[in-house]
């Protein structure tokens, strides 16, 4: 994205030098005419010496101006070269961070068993989800935990934070028997939310599919996700915290749009859940405005979220914040879905 600009004198500088040369020439000519009158009758050799001194002074003065302008021009040229080098360094580091993010995503894996019911027959096959495919399953695991805990604890905020903590760390400290039994039941059946159950009708036969998790639920995903979230956060922070005299707000948005283009919708949903749980509170607070000013969850639609009033309210509240927009851009909405309502 960096643009290399060749250095050249500005138009006003060119005009200044032309005027300076013209004035020096005019002064020199006027001085010669005056001296010829003043030293009338003086031997030509002496007059030439006087005129030479006057011309030398004028030319020296003009030369000093040229040296001054040359130094200023060199300083400006050096600054341009320095800025271009800094931009190249910034872009090189950003691209490295982008590459590492993609590598972190590629390393994510989950194993499922697909169970297909067709008529009276049942067919099972193992599926390994890799990379971006895992994020929907992770979001559904949080949803299953939340909907299991909520009836036992009523408080929606506490229930969500507890659900995410169990999802991330694989531990729960509540000693209530019903609470423990409900969570143990999730472990045993290993079936997630009904959103994963897809009915198909093919050639007159009802085909029903379920997906069973081939790993133990409530074991925690911190080992998989800690590095992922840490690196993603540092990448966003690296861009957002650049001095705007160096990288403008509009340019920062463009760099982060490139990063966001690498994220699936469910990846952004998981980022939203990470923030909402308090584990990733630094995504959006008084200091960092990564969700609002920098649109890092721009592609999150309400339909992707858990159907719950508390979660929906937190999502909608982001829209009420006073956040930055790109000047003269009429459709710079916080969420992509807002454009669809117009």
Q: At what angle do helices 249-260 and 44-106 cross, to 10 degrees?
A: 30
Enumerate the H helices of the chain as residue ranges: 11-38, 44-106, 134-153, 156-169, 177-189, 222-240, 249-260, 265-276, 309-317, 337-340
Per-residue pLDDT of 38-80, as tens digits, reads 656 556 565 566 556 666 666 676 677 777 777 777 777 777 7
DSSP 8-class letter at 259 = H
Q: Contact at 8 Å (CB) between 277 and 160?
A: yes
Shortest CA distance to 200 belongs to which of 118, 255, 280?
Answer: 118
Q: Give the Å distances, CA to CA, from 9 to 59, 76, 260, 304.
A: 22, 10, 40, 55
pLDDT tens-digit profile, the chain (342 residues): 555 555 455 666 666 666 666 776 676 666 666 656 665 655 656 556 655 666 666 667 667 777 777 777 777 777 777 778 889 999 999 999 999 999 999 999 988 777 776 666 777 778 888 999 999 889 988 998 898 888 887 799 999 999 999 999 987 666 667 777 777 766 655 555 434 444 444 444 445 566 667 676 777 899 989 999 999 999 999 999 999 999 999 999 999 999 999 999 999 999 999 999 999 999 999 999 999 999 999 999 999 999 999 999 999 999 999 999 999 888 899 999 887 665
Please give the Cα distance from 255 to 240 (Å, whole number): 9
Q: Contact at 8 Å (CB) between 311 and 301?
A: no
Centroid of chain to Cα 335: 15
Please state, rounded to an integer, the average pLDDT across all residues of the chain. Answer: 81
Shortest CA distance to 141 belongs to which of 195, 94, 210, 179?
Answer: 195
* Buried residues in 1-32 as b, exposed as e (16+ CB within 10 A): eeeeeeeeeeeeeeeeeeeeeeebeebbeebe
Shortest CA distance to 133 belongs to which of 107, 101, 163?
Answer: 107
Tokens of 333: 């909405």
Centroid of chain to Cα 321: 19
Beta bridge partners of 211: 114
What pTM was computed for the model? Answer: 0.73
Three-state SS at 125: strand
User: The tokens 């004035």 sit on which residue?
Assistant: 23
Shortest CA distance to 1 belongs to which of 239, 224, 339, 322?
Answer: 239
Per-residue pLDDT of 155-175, as tens digits, reads 999 999 999 999 999 876 666
């Amino acid at each position: 994205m960096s643009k290399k600009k060749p250095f050249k004198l500005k138009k006003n500088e060119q005009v200044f030098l032309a005027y300076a040369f013209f004035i020096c020439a005019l002064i020199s000519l006027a001085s010669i005419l005056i001296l010829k009158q003043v030293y009338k009758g003086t031997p030509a050799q002496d007059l030439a010496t006087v005129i030479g001194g006057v011309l030398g002074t004028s030319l020296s003065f003009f030369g000093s101006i040229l040296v001054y302008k040359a130094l200023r021009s060199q300083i400006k040229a050096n600054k341009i070269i320095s800025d271009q080098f800094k931009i190249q360094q910034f872009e090189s580091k950003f691209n490295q961070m982008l590459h590492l993010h993609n590598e972190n995503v590629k390393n994510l894996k989950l194993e499922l068993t697909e169970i297909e019911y067709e008529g009276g027959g049942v067919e099972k096959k193992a599926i390994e989800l890799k990379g971006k495919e895992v994020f929907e399953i992770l979001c559904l695991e949080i949803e299953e935990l939340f909907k299991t805990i909520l009836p036992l604890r009523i408080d929606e905020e506490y229930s969500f934070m507890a659900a995410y903590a169990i999802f991330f760390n694989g531990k729960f400290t509540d000693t209530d028997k019903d609470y423990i039994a409900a969570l143990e039941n999730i472990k045993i059946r290993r079936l997630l939310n009904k959103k994963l159950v897809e009915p198909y009708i093919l050639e007159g036969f009802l085909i029903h599919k379920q997906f069973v998790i081939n790993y133990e639920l409530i074991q925690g995903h911190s080992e998989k996700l800690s590095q992922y979230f840490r690196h993603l956060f540092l990448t966003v922070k690296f861009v957002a915290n650049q001095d705007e005299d160096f990288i403008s707000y509009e340019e920062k948005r463009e760099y982060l749009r490139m990063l966001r283009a690498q994220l699936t919708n469910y990846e952004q949903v998981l980022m939203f859940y990470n923030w909402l749980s308090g584990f990733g509170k630094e995504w959006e607070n008084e200091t960092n405005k990564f969700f609002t000013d920098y649109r890092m969850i721009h592609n999150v639609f309400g339909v992707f979220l858990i159907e719950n009033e508390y979660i929906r309210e937190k999502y909608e509240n982001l829209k009420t914040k006073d956040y930055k927009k790109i000047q003269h851009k009429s459709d710079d909405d916080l969420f992509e879905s807002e454009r669809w309502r117009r």
